[in-house]
Structure 1
Amino acid sequence: MNQFFFFYFAGVITLTSVLVVTLRNPVYSALSLLIMFFHVAGLYVTLHAEFLAAVQIIVYAGAILVLYLFVVMLLNVKREDRYHAQLPVAALLGLTFLTTVLLTAVSLRDAGVHAETADGAAGTPGNTETIGRALYSMYLFPFEVASLILLVAMIGAIVLAKRDLFERREP
């Protein structure tokens, strides 16, 4: 039953990812992206990573997609047909990716690796606790650097948005 859900989520994720790139209307592309984000969250649930599924929905489907739609509506993107010249390269890369996935699946099947997960015992820590311990112990420095970069980006966005406050006005 787990394989059925995996293949369902993987198929929908693949289909909506292709739709994000191929649809001409940016709003329809964003809706396809929303469907993809929800199915990625469903894939996380099948892997017993409920915290990552919630973060996927809150951060990506909630914040990133709204930001994407805001930029699309703000910029009023003109329609240009310059991407169809890249179709042969895209087809070659897609074929390469499909071949890699198939070869990996065959090698994993021959190695006898199964994707079955063991049920957690009562004494093992939960998913959220494990992520928290790893984030604040082993990955503390990269986490702080990422937060500092986000802070600088936020201050830069405020400065660019409120540029007239910092410029001198002549009487």
Structure 2
Amino acid sequence: MTAALFYFIACLTIISALFVVLNRNPVYSAVMLVFCFFSLAALYVLLEAYFVAVLEIIVYAGAIMVLFLFVIMLINVGKEIAATSIIVKAKVLPFVLVVLFSLNIILLILWRNEGLHQSNTISSVGSITAIGQALFTKYLLPFEIASLLLLVALIGTVYLAKKRVS
């Protein structure tokens, strides 16, 4: 059951990622990217990395997608998009879905008895303790450099915004 759910969510992730790349409308691409992020979070939940799944939803599906949508709305690309033929979309979508569904069925038949085996070392990767220990021991210097870089970007943004207002 877990293996079938994993393969189903993985196929959903691949399909949504293909729609992100192949869609000409950037707003629809952004919506499909949000769906892709949520399906990745579901894969993290299946791997029992709950903290990483929550971070995926909050950081990527929340903050970064809001930023993408603001940029898309500000540059107003709606008028510049060439109208794509509905006939081409109607032929490509079912083909992609049939191919991915067939691959999913083949994988389930071939590896039906194996299942998903999870080792003990993988279960500690997504835990809050392991992430905290790695950030503040082995990766302390890159973590501090990233925080300084974000602080400089924040100060620069405030400076530029204040300069335009006055």
TM surpasses 0.5: yes
Compare relative contact order (CA 8 Å, sep 6+) and give the higher one, 1 or 2: 2
Question: Contact conserved, 2:125 with 2:131, CA < 8 A, in 1?
Answer: no
Aligned identity (percent) is 48
> 3-state DSSP class of the match of 1:162?
helix
Residue 53 of structure 2 aligns to which amino acid in structure 1? A
Q: 2 CA distance for matches of 1:70 and 1:12?
A: 26
Give TM-score, length-normalised by structure 2. 0.70
Q: 1 CA distance for matches of 2:67 and 2:155?
A: 17
- Asked if 1:62 is matched to 2:50, the reply is no
Q: 1 CA distance for matches of 2:37 and 2:65?
A: 9
Residue 153 of structure 2 aligns to which amino acid in structure 1? A
Change (3 A) 1:26 1:126: closer
Structure having the higher helix fraction is: 2
Deviation digits for residues 27-57 of structure 1 (CA, Å, limit 9, x no counterpart): 2111101110100000111111000000000
Q: 1 CA distance for matches of 2:141 and 2:125?
A: 23
Q: 2 CA distance for matches of 1:115 and 1:63?
A: 32
The CA RMSD measured in Å over matched residues stands at: 2.7
Question: Contact conserved, 2:41 with 2:56, CA < 8 A, in 1?
Answer: yes
Number of equivalenced pairs: 133
- Asked if 1:79 is matched to 2:80, the reply is yes
Change (3 A) 1:125 1:153: closer
Change (3 A) 1:33 1:126: closer
Q: Which structure 1 residue ranges, 5 or more long, are not aligned?
A: 82-112, 167-171
Give TM-score, length-normalised by structure 1. 0.68
Q: Which structure 2 residue ranges, 5 or more long, are not aligned?
A: 83-113
The residue number in structure 2 matching 1:135 is 135
Structure 1 stretches of 4+ moved >6 Å? none
